[in-house]
């Protein structure tokens, strides 16, 4: 009897172990990112057609992806969404996007189309709000037309990834049914992968992550007030945010993509990375350390898909440089760190 009982216990333990291992495997397959890391840049649109040489510096950076950003325009408290204006930069227009995608794909780049609404008089769409349901319905119709226009373009050109919106904090949080419906409409005309670019401070208030292929984050998380923080200081500061991001990936079983990430080359650039300050003091090591810490924190994680740095100008020779205090890492210390990571 003792021998039979012992064998039963061993058999039960083996079965339990197999069930546990199978569960881990299933969970892993559900959310682990199995592809190559998305090593990308957000391209600044051109006034004229994007030429091959405008992408040469991106190739030298070892980036394999570019994000093309067709802007639309709204006004504060007004429901219209307009795009494709004659006076708009060519690279931001439907025709310009088509030509840019063709140029990039012919060279061998993967492409994300990332529509972004600029709110005139305010800029950032995160606080965009409307007072009446009638106004929201008009906005939803206009916005759907905007996104579906680029969804059809993306499908016709076999674009690899489409972002359905950028940083609409209020609209994303309070009108989830609209986004569910929009995703359904987009899926009918576009066969590629979808994401949404949530601002870093409301990633947990997006209800429709499960309907997308990537959890997209514009990753301007505040880290430290230090003028020139060390890489170790920044890695430690990242941990609380990293836990939140990883939990989100686990909850929705989706890989995380940084649809935007980056730092200005100025002092204390990791304190409030989203803030524009043209008067800030140039500080190349701060930007470099910011990038190095971000790569060390995220790039080896299996649930992390990669990201698109902010931002890159086609005119590389005249962009960035030692006197520039803004976001582009071009011709700066940070470019070396990025090239090393992207080239792995």
Per residue in 308-339, pLDDT tens? Answer: 999 999 999 999 999 999 999 999 999 999 99
Q: Which residues of 280-301 are buried (b: 16+ CB within 10 A; e: fewer)?
A: bebbbbbbbbbbbbbbebbeeb
- pLDDT of amino acid 31: 55
Query: Is the pLDDT confidence value at 253 over 50?
Result: yes
Nearest CA among 243, 221, 225 for reference residue 294 = 221
Q: What share of the chain is helix, strand, coil (3-state, %, to 5)?
A: 45, 15, 35
Residues 100, 91 contacting (CB under 8 angstroms)? yes
Task: Note the pLDDT of residue 277.
Answer: 81
Residue 122 has pLDDT above 90, yes or no: no
Closest residue by Cα to residue 142 from 206, 194, 75, 205: 75
- Extract the tokens encoding 320: 């960035």
Q: How far apart are CA 47 and CA 246, in angstroms?
A: 39
DSSP letter for 272, please.
Answer: S
Whether 245 and 238 have beta carbons less than 8 Å apart is answered as: no
CA distance 109 to 301: 24
For range 181-199, the mean pLDDT: 98
Task: Give percent of the chain with pLDDT exceeding 90.
Answer: 83
- Among 12-16, 114-118, 221-225, 268-272, name the one with the lowest average pLDDT: 12-16
How many CB atoms sit inside 10 A of residue 240's CB? 10
Strand partners, 266: 282
> Looking at residues 158-172, what average pLDDT do you find?
97
Q: How confident is the model at residue 8 (pLDDT cuts 50, 70, 90)?
A: very low
Residue 182 has pLDDT above 70, yes or no: yes
Quote the tokens at residue 229: 């923080």
pLDDT at 257: 98
Q: Which residue has the tokens 């227009």?
A: 93
> What average pLDDT score do residues 153-174 get?
97
* Cβ–Cβ under 8 Å, residues 266 and 327: no
What would the two tokens of residue 214 be?
């990537």
Query: Which letter, b or e, does each residue of 38-63 get, where b requires 16 or more Cβ atoms within 10 Å of its Cβ?
Result: bbbbbbbbbeeebeeebbebbeebeb
pLDDT computed for residue 123 by the predictor: 80
Q: What's the pLDDT score for residue 267?
A: 97
| Contacts (Cβ under 8 Å, ≥6 apart) of 126 | 167, 168, 169, 170, 199, 202
| Count of other CB atoms within 10 angstroms of residue 167 | 24
What pTM was computed for the model?
0.90
Residue closest to 180 by CA, chosen among 139, 161, 208: 208
The tens digit of pLDDT for each residue in 45-69 reads 999 988 899 999 999 999 999 999 9
Whether residue 263 is predicted with pLDDT greater than 50 in this model: the reply is yes
For the chain, give the number of residues: 344
Task: Evaluate the CA torsion angle 130, 136, 141, 146 in order and state its sign.
Answer: positive
Tell me the mean pLDDT in the region 293-302. 97
Write down the mean pLDDT value for the chain: 91
Write the CATH number of the domain with boundaries 40-342.
3.20.20.80
pLDDT at 26 over 60: no
Residue 107 pLDDT: 95
Q: Is the pLDDT of residue 171 over 50?
A: yes
Q: What pLDDT does 223 receive?
A: 98
Q: Map tokens 């994000």 to a residue.
A: 67
* 237 pLDDT more than 50: yes
- pLDDT for residue 27 is more than 80: no
Percent of the chain with pLDDT over 70: 91
7 has a pLDDT exceeding 50:
no
- Residue ranges of the domains in the chain? 40-342
Asked if the model's pLDDT at residue 21 lies above 70, the reply is no
Give the per-residue pLDDT at 87. 86
């Amino acid at each position: 009897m003792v021998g039979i009982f012992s064998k039963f216990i061993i058999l039960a333990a083996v079965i339990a172990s197999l069930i546990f291992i199978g569960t881990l495997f299933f969970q892993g397959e559900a959310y682990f990112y199995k592809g190559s890391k998305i090593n990308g840049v957000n391209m600044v649109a051109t006034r004229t057609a994007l030429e091959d040489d405008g992408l040469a510096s991106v190739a030298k950076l070892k980036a394999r992806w570019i994000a093309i950003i067709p802007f639309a325009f709204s006004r504060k408290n007004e429901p219209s969404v307009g795009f494709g204006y004659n006076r708009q930069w060519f690279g931001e227009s439907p025709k310009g996007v088509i030509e840019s995608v063709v140029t990039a794909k012919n060279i061998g780049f993967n492409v994300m189309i990332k529509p972004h609404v600029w709110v005139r008089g305010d800029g950032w769409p995160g606080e965009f709000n409307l007072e009446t349901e009638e106004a929201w319905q008009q906005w939803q119709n206009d916005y759907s037309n905007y996104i579906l226009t680029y969804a059809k373009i993306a499908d016709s050109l076999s674009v690899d990834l489409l972002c359905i919106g950028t940083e609409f904090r209020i609209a994303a949080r309070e009108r989830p049914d609209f986004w569910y419906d929009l995703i359904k409409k987009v899926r009918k005309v576009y066969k590629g992968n979808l994401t949404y670019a949530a601002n870093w401070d409301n990633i947990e208030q997006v209800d429709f992550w499960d309907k997308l292929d990537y959890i997209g984050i514009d990753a301007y998380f505040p880290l430290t007030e230090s003028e020139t923080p060390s890489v170790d200081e920044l890695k430690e500061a990242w941990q609380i945010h990293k836990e939140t991001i990883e939990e989100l990936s686990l909850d929705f079983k989706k890989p995380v993509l940084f649809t935007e990430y980056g730092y200005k080359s100025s002092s204390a650039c990791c304190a409030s990375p989203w803030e524009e300050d043209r008067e800030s003091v140039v500080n190349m090591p701060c930007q470099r350390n910011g990038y190095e810490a971000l790569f060390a924190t995220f790039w080896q994680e299996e649930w992390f898909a990669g990201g698109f740095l902010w931002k890159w100008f086609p005119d590389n020779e005249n962009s960035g440089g030692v006197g520039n205090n803004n976001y582009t890492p071009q011709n700066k210390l940070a470019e070396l760190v990025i090239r090393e990571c992207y080239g792995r």
